[in-house]
Amino acid sequence: MSGLVPDVASGNSVYSGDHMDEQSWKIGDLAAATGLTVRALHHFDRIGLLVPMLRTPAGHRLYTDSDVRRLYRILALRQLGMPLAHIADSLDGDLQDFGSAVRAQLSHVERTIETHRHLRTRLTALLQATLRATEPSIDQLIQAMEALVQANDFTPKQLAQAKRRHLEPGFPDRFAGWRRQGTEIVAELQAHIDGGTDPADPAVQELTRRWTAVIRDMAAGEPAMMSSIYARIERKGPEVATRGVLTAQVWDYLQRAFAVGFGT
Amino acid sequence: MSGLVPDVASGNSVYSGDHMDEQSWKIGDLAAATGLTVRALHHFDRIGLLVPMLRTPAGHRLYTDSDVRRLYRILALRQLGMPLAHIADSLDGDLQDFGSAVRAQLSHVERTIETHRHLRTRLTALLQATLRATEPSIDQLIQAMEALVQANDFTPKQLAQAKRRHLEPGFPDRFAGWRRQGTEIVAELQAHIDGGTDPADPAVQELTRRWTAVIRDMAAGEPAMMSSIYARIERKGPEVATRGVLTAQVWDYLQRAFAVGFGT
DNA sequence: GTGCCGCCTGACGTCGCGTCAGGTGCAAGC
DNA sequence: GCTTGCACCTGACGCGACGTCAGGCGGCAC
């Protein structure tokens, strides 16, 4: 990018017509200098975003100094993820347009981040619920997915089963055990966050496995139930759904660690 | 969604041909029940994702029970943001395919989140640098954008000016003042984070304004310099770039607050 | 003259549909 | 039997930012 100067020495870029002294770039040189493709510059030309001021008699595009300056601005705005049409409006319009275009882009980016955060939650939950369970059958998969998609937290069947388990002898002790283990894991994760540990670190990955084991135990090994638990966390928020065990910060970190772990 | 049962009572959905007892849905009913459009179901048919098993003599599509079950699975996977082609592969293939498709989707989502976080940083930085400064000229805009795009932190000109300012009398005091104010603002933001305050809250918005004022003061009001500061934060990370004043968590919160503030 | 590289234009494909346009099926009211 | 109106059909274009041919021309080295 910083080497974007006219290639006068080689003579390649200078149109040796009437205006010997005017600097101009051929499309290939400009593409190489900016890292764009020739096709992209063709495209910019076609849509009127960057129409080169000169052509050779043979019809070859020649980009002048002012064209290159405009291209600079285009690339800067493109780096912000702005649509080319908005870039054209901004460059041809006034500052007012520019401000609103940037704001529109910002709110769009913000929405994208939010929706993808939810997607990530659902994806990690699904992997959690199925792929590490013993022999995940198609039916279990479907149930897990449906649990994720459903609007309410738990199905009547799940509630009935939960009630039965609730009445089993020793249940309160097991429940207290889950809380204790969860709190421990969260505390260790928080320590890693404060220490700046990478989520891919083996110690963190081990913590994710311990976390999964606790949840799986709570769900009695049923993927659909595990999905429901994660769906509940997503909808109610980590603090409410886990009654204070999990914080938003740790939950985000945990998911990043999951994502890394599954990626390998 | 939960009301997805064949509309037998009205008789609308039953093909009264040879198989009176077979339940089937017409495309409009199915669309209404699932919240999809008829066009989307046409599309699924066209690409082979969901081809209804029956047609009336007139060529109208009739979706059977098994078609509806398949549609359920399709929608569940679509909720995960998966491309339709991958959905088809997953449903027609084995569990292995499914697992890798989910993992691929997860890593894709993770990348999207990361890139959009960077975009958000650049956008807020640009708004910070230009739109609240006094009369942001086109040249200032361009400079601010270039500062954001450039690979190195500060331009030689900026470094020279910084050195001059460094030697001014009273500079160490002003510098200490910026640090103190920054630390205060960060502490208050952290309190809001812990308290679960919405980033749109007026108190938080006021803190963003105070933050901007400090940065603007540091940059001597020059948009390009402000951009460079934010670019530095993005590249080096908040902790390193601010030498411990700003944490990653507060930085994220601050940007969300910016996004909300500019959106209004 | 010939070969090669760079340039040109035009057109199709991507992804997930939305949105017409033009035609048919089917039930109800006249 | 005829019209009205709604649901359905197929086919085609559009979006966004280009990638990827296909077919042909320009210019330079040998």
Say if residues B125 and B227 touch (Cβ distance below 8 Å).
Answer: yes
Question: Does the pLDDT at position A249 exceed 90?
Answer: no
* Contact by Cβ (8 Å): A220, A184: no
Mean pLDDT of B119-126: 87
Contacts of the segment A171-174: beta carbons below 8 A, 24+ positions apart: A174/A217
Provide mean pLDDT across the span B231-241.
Answer: 83
Q: Which of A60-74, B142-156, B175-189 has the least mean pLDDT?
A: B142-156
Q: Is the CB of A29 under 7 A from strand C?
A: yes
Write out residues 219-258 of A within 8 Å (CB-CB) of B: 239, 249, 256
Position A66 scores a pLDDT of 92
**Residue B134: pLDDT above 60?**
no
Option in A123, A146, A150 nearest B80 (CB): A123
Residue A104 contacts strand D, CB under 7 A: no
DSSP state letter for B55:
E
CB–CB contacts below 8 A, A to B: 131
Check whether B19 has a pLDDT greater than 50: no
Domains of chain B in start order, with CATH, are 24-92 (1.10.1660.10), 114-263 (no CATH)
C-alpha A152/C-alpha A154 separation (Å) is 6
Report the nearest residue to nucleotide D7, CA vs C1': B28
The residue-averaged pLDDT of A154-167 equals: 63
Per the model's pLDDT, the better-predicted residue between A154 and A179 turns out to be A179
The closest CB to that of A80, out of B98, B122, B151, belongs to B122
List A55's β-bridge partners, or say none. Answer: A61
DSSP character at residue B264: -
Query: Residue B26: pLDDT band by 50, 70, 90 thresholds?
Result: very high
Q: For residues B217 and B41, give the distance between their C-alpha atoms in angstroms, rounded to a whole number.
A: 58
The closest alpha carbon to B223, from A171, A99, A16, belongs to A99
- What mean pLDDT comes out for the span A153-163? 60
Measured between alpha carbons, how far is A262 from B75 in angstroms, rounded to an integer? Answer: 23
Q: Any idea which of A13-17, A253-257, B26-30, B106-110 has the lowest mean pLDDT?
A: A13-17
The pLDDT tens digits for B247-259 are 888 988 888 888 7
Residues 28-57 of B with CB under 7 A from strand D: 28-29, 31, 38, 42
Does B142 reach chain A within 8 Å, measured CB to CB? yes
Arithmetic mean of pLDDT over chain A: 79
Q: Give me the residue label for tokens 């699904």.
A: A126
pLDDT of residue B113: 94
Q: What is the mean pLDDT of chain B?
A: 80
CB crowding A32-48: b at 16 or more within 10 Å, else e: bbbebeeeebeebeeee
Are the Cβ atoms of B141 and A249 closer than 8 angstroms? no
Q: Which structure tokens are listed for B155?
A: 């331009």
Element (H, E) at B157: helix B156-167
Q: How far apart are the first and last CA of chain A?
A: 35
- Tell whether B197 lies on the interface with A, counting CB pairs under 8 A: no
